[in-house]
Amino acid sequence: MTKKIPCQYCRQRRRKCEKVNQNEACQRCLKANRKCTTQYIYVQDELLLPDDQEEDVIEHSMELYQQARNLEKQIQALETSLSQEKALVRNQEPQWDLQLVNGELRLATEIRSLEELMLYGKSAIRYLSPFGNTFRAKTIVFQRMHTSLVRSAMQIITRSLHQSDDPKSTSSPKAISKRFSTGVTAFWEPQFFIERLIANFFSCFNDIVSILHEPSFMEHFHTLPDPMQDPVVLAICTCSAISTCKHNFFNSHEKRYFSEYFYDLTMEKLVDMFDDPAKALESVLVIHLLIPFMVTTSRVAESFKWSSMAMVLCDSLQKEYPDYAKGGPHLPRMTRIKYSIIHRNSVLPFRDFITCDERTLIKQHNIPIDILPDEPEKTRNIFKVFNLILSLSTHPAFVAVVTQARQVSTSNDSAVIEMNLEDIIRYEETIRTWWCSLPEEVKICKDPFTLTKEIIERETNTCKITMASYVHVTTIKIQACLIQTKSRNKGAPGDICNIVSDKAVQLALHSIDMCFHLMNQLEQIDSFCYSSTKILVRCIDTLMILLQVDDERIAAMAQSRLNDHMLALTKRVSPDHRVTTSASPFSMLTVAPPGPTPSVTELYKNYPLPREALIFDIVRTIVEQNTRNIDALNALS
């Protein structure tokens, strides 16, 4: 007895297998031009479906699950026991007496055994600090004084940002995109632009160019009989068409029209292949190439969904290739390329290494990227900078202060956050020590905190400018948290808190100035198309905090710089995306009552690139509102 059963491909993916009869290929395999294979299992001359074993499989799965639970309990018990033993050892640790003789610390306590010597060594490492006990036990308790404008804006916009648009709705991104397909654009054949779009994608630095290996991709591209059938090619065209890069030859309406065209074709391919284990890496590449398009067109829900899928696929690839981060010349060329691409896609798409923003929570990676020998110089420089930055971002002292600063910046207004004073003081020294260890070819000057406008204007090396930009953007991010807080310590000296705050103001102002000049210098380099809007928004956010400092001189300096930054932001936004005050959707949201609001795509449906209009609208509106509020308060006082 035989039954009609699904083919092996459809069965593995739990897809409906559409066959006219058992002996013919299914519709899905015919469409993909693949061999349609049916797997039969015979038992005592009777054909059985694999589903007949479902009960046994479920029972076996439950047994495995129970074993896993038992192992987890055993591990927890071992961890508890280990913690108790460590506590017991600490309680039994002897006391050490130290004396200061001729400016040197000397041990006065007699060491009677090797075990005591080892204990003393561990104690010295754990307790001796460059500052002794002066700052070790002291923390400053902070409470937020001023809220970040970006954080405030996102709290308002989040109500409509994550709403999932119905594809059939007239306000969905797909429906709205049709309004930009009128005129001559609709008569152009998109496939004629493929080679130009790919050339533009690889022509300059951008956020995700390095997730691909350009030489091997171009080898693959030139062998394709029909590039329109290749999902990676289509994804690159989508990403390149929507880019705000200065090399993009489309206007705003054309960007939206052609990117939507390539996006639709890419998604058809992606939906059909993402669950195919053999195409996991290809699917990851396609997803990461599409994310910029999804974000730019306000497909936020889609971007989160597919980003999560990419993370799952990356995790699966890492398990399949456990040596993916151990690339090198000892490997065959294609194996090394594959390992490197897995490593890059596990790290780079989630992190903007200049503004040090993590786009989503991912596992920490501290292994340098393998730089392949046949890659273009531009890409090699990107990875050189990234690997050097990685050595700082994983430094314990740096991690400590960044973690504490992030807690302050994300806390509620009433939340109380403690920051270790030594960590705050050690920030500059940590940066300087790391900077001194860098190769000379990536250092713009000897000390990043003594950088000047004149030095920047003489520099044309992309690596040096990028490295300096990272340091100063990071400094702004950290020092802004110290500016916008006030001490609530009852026993702590007030002058310490004032010193920390004053130092933070000085560092923030200097770094804001340096970022502004570095950003302008980067734009003079034709091969570098990093979006300076991110840096500008970071600086503007901090300047808004400085405006609220109770010091007229600092406030005046902040206001002057704020005017310059707003002018720079306006120039960098295309004229058709400069949302006016009278037509500001964000202004409407700020006064809207609690409850459902229109989606972002609906609010910014008149703009081909809604994200660009959204950012400009948020920043301009909040700057104007806060400036008016500050002026009103000053008038009252």
Q: Is 412 left (phi over 0), alpha (psi -120 to 50) or beta?
A: beta
Strands of the sheet with 139-144, listed across from one edge: 416-420, 139-144, 485-487
Q: Count of CB atoms within 10 A of residue 7's CB?
A: 20
Distance in angstroms (rounded) separating the CA atoms of residues 597 and 603: 9
**Tokens 């007699």 identify what position?**
110
Q: Looking only at Cα atoms, what is the longest distance across the chain?
A: 97
Average pLDDT, the chain: 78
How many residues are present in the chain?
637
List of residues 6+ apart from 435 with CB closer than 8 A: 443, 447, 448, 471
List of residues 6+ apart from 373 with CB closer than 8 A: 329
Q: Residue 117's pLDDT is what? A: 55
Distance in angstroms (rounded) separating the CA atoms of residues 68 and 64: 6
Distance in angstroms (rounded) separating the CA atoms of residues 308 and 312: 6
Please choose, from the candidates 587, 571, 582, the residue with its C-alpha nearest in 3D space to the C-alpha of residue 625: 587
**How many degrees, rounded to 5, is the angle at CA 78 between CA 77 and CA 79?**
90
Write out 372-409 in H/E/C secondary structure.
CCCCCHHHHHHHHHHHHHHHHHCCHHHHHHHHHHHHHH
Q: Residue 145's pLDDT is what? A: 54
Given a contact cutoff of 8 angstroms between Cβ atoms, the answer to whether 16 and 10 are in contact is: yes
> Would you state the structure tokens that stand for residue 51, as one six-digit string?
């589903």
Distance in angstroms (rounded) separating the CA atoms of residues 493 and 85: 39
Q: At 374, which amino acid appears?
A: D
Distance in angstroms (rounded) separating the CA atoms of residues 229 and 266: 9
Domain ranges of the chain: 1-41, 142-162+188-375
Task: DSSP letter for 482, please.
Answer: H
> Would you state the structure tokens that stand for residue 405, as one six-digit string?
């600063």
**3-class SS of residue 524:** coil
Distance in angstroms (rounded) separating the CA atoms of residues 38 and 52: 16
Q: Is 314 left (phi over 0), alpha (psi -120 to 50) or beta?
A: alpha
The pTM of the full predicted model, rounded to 2 decimals, is: 0.74
**Tokens 């409906």 identify what position?**
16
Distance in angstroms (rounded) separating the CA atoms of residues 254 and 242: 9
Given a contact cutoff of 8 angstroms between Cβ atoms, the answer to whether 581 and 587 are in contact is: yes
Distance in angstroms (rounded) separating the CA atoms of residues 144 and 485: 5
- Residue ranges of the chain whose pLDDT lies below 70: 1-4, 39-62, 65, 81-94, 96, 100-106, 111-172, 174, 177-187, 205-209, 348-365, 410-417, 484-496, 527, 594-595, 628-637
CA-to-CA dists, residue 384 to 75, 135, 462, 471, 605, angstroms: 40, 36, 11, 15, 41
CA-to-CA dists, residue 462 to 101, 108, 206, 468, angstroms: 51, 55, 13, 10
Q: Count of CB atoms within 10 A of residue 581's CB?
A: 10
**How many degrees, rounded to 5, is the angle at CA 447 between CA 445 and CA 453?**
55
Q: Count of CB atoms within 10 A of residue 91's CB?
A: 7
